[in-house]
Structure 1
Amino acid sequence: MSLPQALLDSLSQVTGYQADSFIKTHELGESPTSIRINPDKINTPPAHLNIQSPVLWNQYGYYLNARPAFTFDPYFHAGTYYVQEASSMFLEYAVKQSVDLDEDLRVLDLCAAPGGKSTLLASLLSPDSLLVSNEVIKSRANILVDNMSKWGLSNTYVTNNDPKDFSRIGGYFDLIVVDAPCSGSGLFRRDPEAVVEWSLDNVAMCSQRQQRILADVWDSLKEGGILLYSTCSYSEAENETIMDWVIDNLSAKNIVLDKKDTDTIQQWGIVRTESPENKAIGYRFYPDQAKGEGFFLAAFQKTKADYKPFHRPHIKPQRTKSFKHEKSVLSQWITGLEDYMWFEKNDNFYLINPEHESDLKILQSNLYIKKAGILLGQIGAKDLIPEHELALSTILSEQVPILNVSYEQAIAYLRKDDFVPDTNQRGWCGIAYEEHILGWGKALGNRFNNYYPKELRILSRLP
Structure 2
Amino acid sequence: MQRFLFPHEFEERLRSQRGHDWQAFSAIHGEASPVSIRLNPAKTKNHNALFKQQASPDIQSVPWTKHGFYLNERPSFTLDPAFHAGTYYVQEASSMLLEQAILQYFDNKENIRALDLCAAPGGKSTHLLSLLSTNSLLVSNEVIRSRANILAENITKWGHANVVVTNNDPEDFEKLKGFFDLMVVDAPCSGEGLFRKDAEAMKEWSVENANLCAMRQQRIVHDVWPALKENGILIYCTCTYNPEENNKNIERFAQELNAEILPLDINPNWGVQALDHGYQCFPDKVKGEGFYIAILRKKETQSSGRMRGGKTVFTKVPNAAVRYQQWLNTSEVKLTQFREFLLTIPSEQEEAITFVCSNLKTVSAGTTMGTLKHDKLIPDHALAMSTVLNKENFPHVEASYEEAIAYLRKDVFWQEGLTKGFSLIQYENFTLGWANVLDNRLNNLYPADWRIRMAGN
TM-score by length of 2: 0.93
Aligned counterparts of 1:15 and 1:352: Cα–Cα separation in 2: 49
Instruction: Between 211-220 and 49-58, report the one with greater CA deviation.
Output: 49-58
Shift in Å at residue 325 of structure 1? 2.0
Shift in Å at residue 448 of structure 1? 1.1
Shift in Å at residue 235 of structure 1? 0.9
> Which residue number in structure 1 is paired with residue 362 of structure 2?
369
> Which residue number in structure 1 is paired with residue 432 of structure 2?
438
Shift in Å at residue 251 of structure 1? 1.5
Instruction: Between 192-201 and 71-80, report the one with greater CA deviation.
Output: 192-201
Aligned counterparts of 2:219 and 2:317: Cα–Cα separation in 1: 48
Rate the CA distance shift 1:267–1:339 in 2: closer, same or farther, 3 A.
closer
The answer as to 2:441 corresponding to 1:447 is yes
> Which residue number in structure 2 is paired with residue 417 of structure 1?
411
Superposed, 1:37-116 pairs within 5 Å as: 37-47=39-49, 48=51, 49-116=56-123
Rate the CA distance shift 1:322–1:182 in 2: closer, same or farther, 3 A.
closer
Q: Once superposed, which parts of structure 1, at least 4 consecutive aligned residues long, lie more than 6 Å away?
A: none
Q: Is the 8 A contact 1:85 1:293 kept in 2?
A: yes
Instruction: Between 369-378 and 289-298, report the one with greater CA deviation.
Output: 369-378
| One-letter amino acid matched to 1:187 | L
Rate the CA distance shift 1:322–1:174 in 2: closer, same or farther, 3 A.
closer
The answer as to 2:347 corresponding to 1:354 is yes
> Which residue number in structure 2 is paired with residue 323 of structure 1?
318
Which segments of 5 or more consecutive residues in structure 1 lack a partner in the other structure? 275-280, 315-319
Q: Is the 8 A contact 1:14 1:236 kept in 2?
A: no
Aligned counterparts of 2:148 and 2:190: Cα–Cα separation in 1: 21
| One-letter amino acid matched to 2:452 | I
The answer as to 2:296 corresponding to 1:300 is yes
Rate the CA distance shift 1:127–1:257 in 2: closer, same or farther, 3 A.
same
The answer as to 2:8 corresponding to 1:5 is yes
> Which residue number in structure 2 is paired with residue 310 of structure 1?
305
- Aligned-partner SS, 1:236: coil
| One-letter amino acid matched to 1:283 | Y
The answer as to 2:203 corresponding to 1:203 is no
| One-letter amino acid matched to 1:430 | L
Instruction: Between 420-429 and 156-165, report the one with greater CA deviation.
Output: 420-429
| One-letter amino acid matched to 1:428 | F
Shift in Å at residue 382 of structure 1? 5.6
Aligned equivalent of 2:385, options 385, 392, 415 = 392
Aligned counterparts of 1:108 and 1:272: Cα–Cα separation in 2: 26
> Which residue number in structure 2 is paired with residue 226 of structure 1?
233
Shift in Å at residue 109 of structure 1? 0.3
Aligned equivalent of 2:34, options 32, 35, 39 = 32
| One-letter amino acid matched to 2:402 | E
| One-letter amino acid matched to 1:442 | N
Q: Is the 8 A contact 2:122 2:155 kept in 1?
A: yes
Shift in Å at residue 460 of structure 1? 1.3
The answer as to 2:124 corresponding to 1:117 is yes
Shift in Å at residue 435 of structure 1? 1.1
| One-letter amino acid matched to 1:10 | R
> Which residue number in structure 2 is paired with residue 185 of structure 1?
192
Shift in Å at residue 160 of structure 1? 0.5
Aligned counterparts of 1:455 and 1:207: Cα–Cα separation in 2: 36
| One-letter amino acid matched to 1:72 | L
Aligned counterparts of 2:418 and 2:358: Cα–Cα separation in 1: 48
> Which residue number in structure 1 is paired with residue 165 of structure 2?
158
| One-letter amino acid matched to 2:358 | S
> Which residue number in structure 1 is paired with residue 312 of structure 2?
none
> Which residue number in structure 2 is paired with residue 334 of structure 1?
328
Percent of matched pairs sharing the same residue? 46
Shift in Å at residue 323 of structure 1? 3.1
Aligned counterparts of 1:380 and 1:213: Cα–Cα separation in 2: 43
- Aligned-partner SS, 1:18: helix
- Aligned-partner SS, 1:234: coil
Q: Deviations over 1:152-184 (max 9, x none)?
A: 011111111000000111111000000000011
Q: Is the 8 A contact 1:179 1:230 kept in 2?
A: yes
Shift in Å at residue 3 of structure 1? 1.3
Shift in Å at residue 313 of structure 1? 6.2
Aligned counterparts of 2:69 and 2:33: Cα–Cα separation in 1: 14
Rate the CA distance shift 1:128–1:15 in 2: closer, same or farther, 3 A.
farther
Q: Is the 8 A contact 2:410 2:448 kept in 1?
A: yes
Q: Deviations over 1:46-81 (max 9, x none)?
A: 343524310000001000011000000000000000
- Aligned-partner SS, 1:238: coil
Aligned counterparts of 1:17 and 1:208: Cα–Cα separation in 2: 31
Aligned equivalent of 2:134, options 107, 127, 135 = 127
Q: Is the 8 A contact 2:317 2:336 kept in 1?
A: no
| RMSD of aligned residue pairs (Cα, Å) | 1.7
Aligned equivalent of 2:287, options 270, 288, 291 = 291
Q: Is the 8 A contact 2:65 2:97 kept in 1?
A: yes
- Aligned-partner SS, 1:13: helix
Q: Is the 8 A contact 2:435 2:446 kept in 1?
A: yes
Shift in Å at residue 312 of structure 1? 4.1
Q: Is the 8 A contact 2:424 2:431 kept in 1?
A: yes
Shift in Å at residue 116 of structure 1? 0.1
Rate the CA distance shift 1:8–1:257 in 2: closer, same or farther, 3 A.
same
Q: Deviations over 1:345-366 (max 9, x none)?
A: 2111011011111102211232
Q: Is the 8 A contact 1:2 1:27 kept in 2?
A: no
Rate the CA distance shift 1:458–1:185 in 2: closer, same or farther, 3 A.
same
| One-letter amino acid matched to 1:405 | A
Aligned counterparts of 1:86 and 1:299: Cα–Cα separation in 2: 19
Q: Deviations over 1:108-138 (max 9, x none)?
A: 0000000000000000101111011000000
Instruction: Between 66-75 and 442-451, report the one with greater CA deviation.
Output: 442-451
Q: Deviations over 1:361-411 (max 9, x none)?
A: 211232111111100112335632001100000111122111110100111
| One-letter amino acid matched to 1:425 | T
